[in-house]
Structure 1
């Protein structure tokens, strides 16, 4: 579970076309420091997770449950309509 949270943060950021530099700046931290979060090199605090969810404009629950396959299936269904 731990690894997927970090991976989900990265995937959500990428799908929103946000750069690491942008997210790091919004979090008032260095790009390399933020990169360590996405790679899972550092433990993520609850307060930092809340800040990240605000920058990404998603809920914390969304970060935990995010599944890129479901995202693309939903997108394909909407395109068929």
Structure 2
């Protein structure tokens, strides 16, 4: 099961166009430590699973039991869902990261490197 969850984490991160460095920073982990999670080399705690679901903007069950159809819908017109931060265009759902979270990540990066 750990390998499946690890693969789900990586797939979702890539589909949301987030870097490993960003997600590791959000989890207060090193890049290397986070990489071990994605490769299934270490067991992941429930608290980290919960935090990853928050970072990705999905439920814990969606993270554990990932289904690629979650990211697609049948609408052909553009729609913005302010609650989830998703934009639907031509049947493909993309997700927007709030600017405040990106800024928080940049501040953490500067503190860690400075």
* Residues 12-58 of structure 1: CA deviation (Å, up to 9, x unaligned): 00000000000001111100000000110000111111111111111
Structure 2 unaligned blocks of 5 or more? 77-89, 92-114
Higher strand share: 2
Instruction: Report the aligned-residue RMSD.
Output: 1.8
Alignment of 1:1-81 (within 5 A): 1-68=1-68, 70-71=69-70, 74-75=72-73, 77-79=74-76
Matched residue count: 78
Q: Which has the larger radius of gyration?
A: 2
CA displacement at 1:78 relative to structure 2: 3.2
Provide the rounded CA distance (Å) in 1 between the counterparts of 2:44 and 2:24: 14
Higher helix share: 1
What's the TM-score once normalised by structure 2's chain length?
0.61
Structure 1 unaligned blocks of 5 or more? none
Provide the rounded CA distance (Å) in 2 between the counterparts of 1:30 and 1:61: 25
Provide the rounded CA distance (Å) in 1 between the counterparts of 2:62 and 2:40: 18
* Larger RCO (CA under 8 A, 6+ residues apart): 1
Q: What SS does the corresponding residue of 1:61 show, helix, strand or coil?
A: helix
What's the TM-score once normalised by structure 1's chain length?
0.83
